[in-house]
Structure 1
Amino acid sequence: MKGYWHIVALSALVAAISVLFEWNLFILMFLWLAYLFASHRLKILPLLLSIISYLFFFYYLPHVETDISSQKNSNDSTLLQGEIIRSPIIQENKIELVVEDDTTADKVLVIYFPDEREIAPNETALLKYGAECIVHGKIEYPEGASNPGEFDYRQFLLKKEITKQIVVHDLTDIDCVGASFWHRFIYLRQLLLHQAPENISDYTAAWVNALVLGDDSKIDPSVIRLFQDWGLSHILAISGLHIGIVVGLVYFLLIKTSAMTREKAELVVLLFLPLYAVLAGGEPSVLRASAMVVLFIILRRMKISVTALDIISVVFLLLLLFDRFIIYHIGFQFSFLVTFGIILTRKWLSLVSSSFYQVLIISFISQMVILPIQLNYFSLFQPLSILLNLVIIPYFSIFVIPFMFFFLLFSFLSESILHAFDILFTGIHYNVLLFIEWVDEYFNYPLYVSDLPVAFFICYYLCLVVSLVLVERERLKEAFIGFILLTLVLTGYAAAPYFSAKGTVTMLDIGQGDAFIIELPYREGVIMIDAGASFSLTDMEPSPTVYERIIKPYMRSRGIHEIDALFISHEDLDHFGSLEFMIEDGVVKEVYVSDYYVFEPKLMQKLMDHQVPLQRIEVGSTINIQGQPFTVVSPVVDKQDANENSLVLFTEIGSRSWLFTGDISEAEELEIMKHYQVQADVIKIAHHGSNTSSNPLFLQSLQSKDAFISVGRGNSYGHPTKEVIETLEELGIRIFRTDKHGAVQYIFGEDEAWFETFLPY
């Protein structure tokens, strides 16, 4: 079987693709295997194993059913009895347990968010891996995404085999006893995480936890996002690089110091690596790297000759057998793709003598093999990330990661020595991160690509493999052409909106607030009307959550780099709250408000600091944004009230006329009737469907066919009111509402137009 295990692994991978995308690829798989067998490239045993591999994994791997809309949350408290089956996550801001129900075998996520006080160690002492627990609380079904591009929390949990969750409000609602044998190793990890060396700073301790123990929760979230955007997040995942350092340290300490023979040192590695995999969090990347080293040592001691490709293929199959849900883990996908890519290009690397060019090739291959997966998850690719990796990978490999192991292993050194090394590391590392931020500020030219079809993934990887094979055969000209074609295809997908005759109007589901994004055909312009945010009732400060989780991901998923014009209807946080975060992110070119809009000094200063022009517009004026006219029909006079002073805009988009009404009341609606002969095919219902607006005479005069209502699920205001819904229904107006349909899109082209809802209508 030497040299054939990769075909067995590929058969399992094709089975996984068949399950994930609901394609039955058995016929194609069989034809491929038959061709290899007929051309004498495949013997009978690997042929049979490959067929068995496909059939087994096709039925073994899970298909995640994300539609659980029929399952409703209950207000009744329930009692869950079961076992903690995964390592408890105990952090300052949350505690998470995965409990398997003893009765149903369902996996339930138990979450506790502590209040302002710190959690005492004795409060969590009984939360152990393998403990039997009784949990009191209300069963909830996680909410899924309701907007394009939004992170789907429900799907995320389902891919971890978790279907329900319980949020407890007090740790006394969790009563646990006992533990499993493996708890002591997990406890050791928790001990190392929470009792970092006393003589180093919190800043350095956070990096020790991330790069040695696999917990990046204490690293600044902005740094995590920066690494993700620039394709550097693989550095934060413990993988082959870290395992190589661990193995190198063991061999150096045991062999170079003549403490042990090589054979005995190998036994130490065999015993230590599985323990380190647990201490490092047991993520797929560290499991892959550890398993490859362990398997290599075992096979060598048994004098069984295998290739590196065989080893990674066998490890791939074993991990799939061990955990069938691991196929959905992004770390599993990235780790194996990068390792396969590097192994396939080992001949190319051997032809290059310069370490600089070897690192460049590894960086290039690593980026190319994960690029489609990266686009699928993040909709973003930084072309310059290959060059940045060229600088950052050696820096982390040679300096940062060894330093982190040093801090953990030599924490017994004197305070002055550790403090000196801490100052050295902090000074250098802080400036390197500043350099990455500088690159992000001045060389940030990302490609946004999303909604890639499955056929693209297949064609991309086929072209990539062919190009790599051509490089291996030293047919560099043909390989170069292949890489150029790949680049052109990606660029073509990124540029697709600029060649599309279709435009869209999207009402985003941001809860109890408004956010509309208008995309003109051929990407001639992107206009936004309102950008609401959630906020705290105690201090009335807006939260960045809506922007970071809904607006920004939507923009990325649509390939939108910036908003040409942002109209703010009035000064309520559910309509303007995300503005400050958009300004800070540099995605707003110009802001429009009414003559009577009252700006907070802080927000006004932010506009000036970021040089974002502010335009005040009056009733009767028409503003042309990239060829799209908007006419202001209200406010006529200053009503001394934010809602009544709402900016009301009339425009024609596609084949329909639109009226965006902000939060006006009936009085303003009747004023519009009096001063303007407005007819609007589509109306944005004012004030989320409050009974203070939507006068029947006004709606009748508009002759609208469709109504958009942006409203939060189960909101405390009772919006939209029964009276408004009945009025719309009596007038025969079709209703689209975010609490029921999620984001709603109007898609229009040269000859056609239609509405789509993100959730089933």
Structure 2
Amino acid sequence: MSFSKIFLYFCISFLAGIFISSFFNPAIIAGLVILVVFVLGIFCFLFRRRGEGSFPRKPVIIFGACLIIFLLGNFRFQVANFFAENNAFLKYSNQKITILGIISNEPEINDNNAKLKIKVKYLNGIEIKGKVLVTVSKYNNFSYGDKLRITGILRVPPIFKDFNYRDYLKKEKIYVLMDEPDINLISKNCGNFIYNKILVLKNKLRENIEKNLSLNEGAILGAIMLGDQRKISYDLKEKLNKTGLRHITAVSGMHIAILTSLLMTFLIALGFWRGQAFYLTVLFIFFYILMIGIPASALRAAIMGFLFLLAQKIGRVSMSSRAVIFAAALMCFFNPFLLRFDIGFQLSFLAVLGIIYLSPIFESWFKKIPFFVKKLLSPIRGLLSMTLSAQIFTLPILIYNFGYFSPIGIVTNILIVPFLPYIMGLGFLFALMGIIYQSFGWLLSLPANILLIYIIKVINFFA
């Protein structure tokens, strides 16, 4: 057995330890492991006593090492959970306090309010480090980098009947909230200068989308391109849920995979070598993540996308799949809450694995279809294979989190998902060109608008 395969087993064991620990009491897990070790010990004793053939020492050692690493994964989750439940902010819960901090991300604006992630510097004059999620009116004109003095009551995130909001925020290392506090603006532009300029570019892209497209079409494109769901109405969100298409509006591994494949194909068609196209695409993905504000889910999706690109460059499926699992284990080592509580991480991880394992199968199937259909699909065969592969692997997560499975979703995804590469490509093209020359941007928005109108009609028809 090769070292890389053994290392793969170790990574899977670590992930399994974290995942199972998020569901069960650690004492129960430890008891089960002790039972397994006991049974394994009896097996080894009887095997050696009977003297039947050579003793399988190496598999037993590897299995024992996997059990130890499984326990380490369990321990890592429990340590993270202990610090989360004993966070310094929690002793101030249900108390009126004053914090001084900086808005660390672009405000999340929805139909009813806006949410500010505050990187806290001081609490009641005492130096402290951590984050507080503050809910304010959506009409407040706060932005990234604003330094604020906030006075209000801290509270612990609630646990709803069908949604554990407390665990959901754990992955962002947010353990307390403040609702509608008193806020005083102290100063502006206290954040990172480069990040602030990138958010300015994002706002210009958003403005071009809003200028050139109608409300629903612009809302869909903004969500697909920029991960910006603020313009999607409640009615449209419900229709997306009913038709099984809500996932297309959240930047995930599927979006990153589409962008990487689209750009790789485009650069190679322009005459770049595969190696050159690889490095340029990695640079683009890095810029894209910065442009949409470095959300944690998209950053993890970008890591998975990079590994997918690396797989294409190396041309070794087995190596790429092991690299993806290693990356997942590494990310979960630093933040063990990702595996259980971060849907974006789950979707990104499974989407890339789906592309690695299923895409070649779809490619071979498409080669066997009738000639005229093959000619028709030839320009999009690779993109279609990737899209279907990612969709199949992520389907269980989507069903689990939305609580139901809609057979309509199969039809709607077949009708819409293959067009996402064209929508994303055309969307970036007209939004960027609109910054340089507005009329040219409007002209380029027309084909994108046609595809978006088609998507809206499909959504309305099947909803």
Q: The TM-score by the shorter chain falls in which range?
A: 0.7 to 0.9
Partner of 1:426: 449
Partner of 1:137: 151
Q: Secondary structure at the match of 1:411?
A: helix
Structure 1 residues 7 and 98: alpha-carbon distance in aligned structure 2, compared to 1, 3 A threshold: farther
2:120 to 94, 100, 110: 100
Q: Secondary structure at the match of 2:407?
A: coil
Contact persistence 1:266–1:297 (CA under 8 A): yes
Question: When the two structures are superposed, what TM-score results if normalisation uses the length of structure 1?
Answer: 0.47
Structure 1 residues 390 and 3: alpha-carbon distance in aligned structure 2, compared to 1, 3 A threshold: farther
For structure 1, the residue ranges without an aligned partner over 5 or more in a row are 441-761
Q: Which aligned pairs between 1:628-647 and structure 2 lie closer than 5 A?
A: none
Partner of 2:432: 409
2:106 to 60, 84, 88: 88
Identity across aligned pairs (percent)? 21
Contact persistence 1:214–1:281 (CA under 8 A): no
Partner of 2:4: 2
Q: Which amino acid aligns with 2:10?
A: V
Contact persistence 2:156–2:175 (CA under 8 A): yes
Partner of 2:75: 59
Q: Secondary structure at the match of 2:229?
A: coil
Contact persistence 1:199–1:418 (CA under 8 A): no
Whole-Å Cα distance in 1 between the matches of residues 209 and 412 of structure 2? 31
Q: Which aligned pairs between 1:528-607 and structure 2 lie closer than 5 A?
A: none
Partner of 2:50: none
Q: Which aligned pairs between 1:672-751 and structure 2 lie closer than 5 A?
A: none
Post-superposition offset of 1:21: 0.8
Q: Which amino acid aligns with 2:442?
A: H
Contact persistence 2:171–2:335 (CA under 8 A): no
Q: Secondary structure at the match of 2:129?
A: coil
Structure 1 residues 223 and 364: alpha-carbon distance in aligned structure 2, compared to 1, 3 A threshold: farther
For structure 2, the residue ranges without an aligned partner over 5 or more in a row are 45-54
Q: Secondary structure at the match of 1:307?
A: helix
Whole-Å Cα distance in 1 between the matches of residues 345 and 437 of structure 2? 40
Structure 1 residues 366 and 422: alpha-carbon distance in aligned structure 2, compared to 1, 3 A threshold: closer
Whole-Å Cα distance in 1 between the matches of residues 326 and 334 of structure 2? 12
- Deviation digits for residues 142-194 of structure 1 (CA, Å, limit 9, x no counterpart): 45246x43x44444334433222234556535556632366346534543455
Structure 1 residues 322 and 275: alpha-carbon distance in aligned structure 2, compared to 1, 3 A threshold: farther
Partner of 2:52: none
The answer to which structure, 1 or 2, has the higher relative contact order (CA under 8 A, 6+ apart) is 2
Structure 1 residues 4 and 43: alpha-carbon distance in aligned structure 2, compared to 1, 3 A threshold: farther
Post-superposition offset of 1:368: 6.8
User: Could you say which structure has the higher helix fraction?
Assistant: 2
Q: Which amino acid aligns with 1:105?
A: K
Post-superposition offset of 1:109: 1.3
Question: When the two structures are superposed, what TM-score results if normalisation uses the length of structure 2?
Answer: 0.72
1:326 aligns with 2:342: no
Q: Secondary structure at the match of 2:4?
A: coil
Q: Secondary structure at the match of 1:80?
A: strand
- Deviation digits for residues 36-77 of structure 1 (CA, Å, limit 9, x no counterpart): x987996967974x45643333222233659x9997623x4x
Structure 1 residues 104 and 424: alpha-carbon distance in aligned structure 2, compared to 1, 3 A threshold: same
Contact persistence 1:8–1:53 (CA under 8 A): yes
Q: Secondary structure at the match of 2:70?
A: helix
- Deviation digits for residues 518-555 of structure 1 (CA, Å, limit 9, x no counterpart): xxxxxxxxxxxxxxxxxxxxxxxxxxxxxxxxxxxxxx
Partner of 1:292: 304
Whole-Å Cα distance in 1 between the matches of residues 413 and 285 of structure 2? 27
Structure 1 residues 245 and 385: alpha-carbon distance in aligned structure 2, compared to 1, 3 A threshold: closer
2:414 to 386, 390, 395: 390
Structure 1 residues 331 and 303: alpha-carbon distance in aligned structure 2, compared to 1, 3 A threshold: closer
- Deviation digits for residues 298-317 of structure 1 (CA, Å, limit 9, x no counterpart): 68989999523112112212
Q: Which aligned pairs between 1:58-457 and structure 2 lie closer than 5 A?
A: 58-61=74-77, 62-63=80-81, 73-74=94-95, 76=96, 78-82=97-101, 84=103, 86-89=104-107, 91=109, 93-102=113-122, 103-115=127-139, 119=141, 124=143, 127-128=144-145, 133-142=147-156, 144-145=158-159, 148-149=161-162, 151-168=163-180, 172-173=184-185, 175=187, 178-180=190-192, 183-184=195-196, 186-188=198-200, 190-192=202-204, 194-196=206-208, 200-203=212-215, 204-248=217-261, 250-251=263-264, 255-258=268-271, 261-283=273-295, 286-295=298-307, 307-327=319-339, 328-345=341-358, 348-349=361-362, 351-353=364-366, 354=369, 363=388, 366-367=391-392, 370-371=395-396, 373-397=397-421, 399-411=422-434, 415-440=438-463
Structure 1 residues 42 and 288: alpha-carbon distance in aligned structure 2, compared to 1, 3 A threshold: farther
Contact persistence 2:307–2:320 (CA under 8 A): no
Whole-Å Cα distance in 1 between the matches of residues 345 and 282 of structure 2? 22
Alpha-carbon RMSD across the aligned residues, in angstroms, is: 4.4
Contact persistence 2:17–2:74 (CA under 8 A): yes
Whole-Å Cα distance in 2 between the matches of residues 237 and 352 of structure 1? 29
Q: Secondary structure at the match of 2:212?
A: coil
Whole-Å Cα distance in 2 between the matches of residues 251 and 347 of structure 1? 17
Q: Secondary structure at the match of 2:285?
A: helix
- Deviation digits for residues 418-465 of structure 1 (CA, Å, limit 9, x no counterpart): 43444444344334323322222xxxxxxxxxxxxxxxxxxxxxxxxx
Post-superposition offset of 1:88: 2.9
Post-superposition offset of 1:331: 1.4
Contact persistence 2:135–2:178 (CA under 8 A): yes
Q: Secondary structure at the match of 1:436?
A: helix
Between 357-366 and 417-426, the greater mean CA deviation after superposition: 357-366
Q: Secondary structure at the match of 1:179?
A: coil
Contact persistence 2:253–2:347 (CA under 8 A): no
Q: Which amino acid aligns with 2:94?
A: N
Between 355-364 and 399-408, the greater mean CA deviation after superposition: 355-364
Whole-Å Cα distance in 1 between the matches of residues 426 and 195 of structure 2? 29
Contact persistence 1:11–1:53 (CA under 8 A): yes
Post-superposition offset of 1:248: 4.6
Contact persistence 1:189–1:213 (CA under 8 A): no
Structure number with larger C-alpha Rg:
1
Q: Which amino acid aligns with 1:135?
A: R
Whole-Å Cα distance in 1 between the matches of residues 354 and 405 of structure 2? 19
